Amino acid sequence: MSLVTTSRSVVRALKQSASIKDATAASRFIKTGKGQYGEGDSFLGIRMPVLRQRANEFKDLSRSETSNLLKSKFHEARITALLIMVLQFQHGDEKVQARIVQLYLNNTLYVNGWDLVDCSAHLILGPWLMRRDKGILSTLARSESLWERRIAIMSTFHFIRQQHFSPTLKIARLLLKDNEDLIHKAVGWMLREVGNRDRNTEEEFLRKYYRNMPRTMLRYAIEKFPEARRQQYLNGTV
Separation between Cα atoms, residue 142 and residue 151, nearest integer Å: 11
Please tell me the pTM assigned to this model.
0.95
User: Which is more confidently placed, 200 or 24?
Assistant: 200
Class of the domain covering 1-112: mainly alpha
Mean pLDDT for the chain? 95
Looking at residue 4, its pLDDT comes to: 53
Q: What is the pLDDT of residues 136-146, one digit of tens each?
A: 999 999 999 99
* Residue 2 predicted with pLDDT over 80: no
pLDDT for the residue 3 = 46
pLDDT in tens, 144-179: 999 999 999 999 999 999 999 999 999 999 999 999
Q: Which CATH number fits domain 120-238: 3.60.9.10, 3.30.43.10, 3.30.365.10, 1.25.10.90?
A: 1.25.10.90
- Give the separation between CA 199 and CA 170, rounded to whole angstroms: 17
Domain parsing of the chain, residue ranges:
1-112, 120-238
CB-based contacts of 196, cutoff 8 Å, min separation 6: 224
Domains 1-112 and 120-238 share a fold: yes
Question: How far apart are alpha carbons 233 and 223 in whole angstroms?
Answer: 11
Give residues with Cβ within 8 angstroms of 156, minimum separation 6. 122, 126, 137, 167, 168, 171, 190
Question: What are the angstrom distances between the C-alpha of 79 and each of 75, 111, 156, 216?
Answer: 6, 8, 20, 27
- Summarize pLDDT for 84-133 with one digit per residue, the tens: 999 999 999 999 999 999 999 999 999 999 999 999 999 999 999 999 99
Q: Which residues contact 122 (CB under 8 A, 6 or more apart)?
A: 154, 155, 156, 157, 158, 161
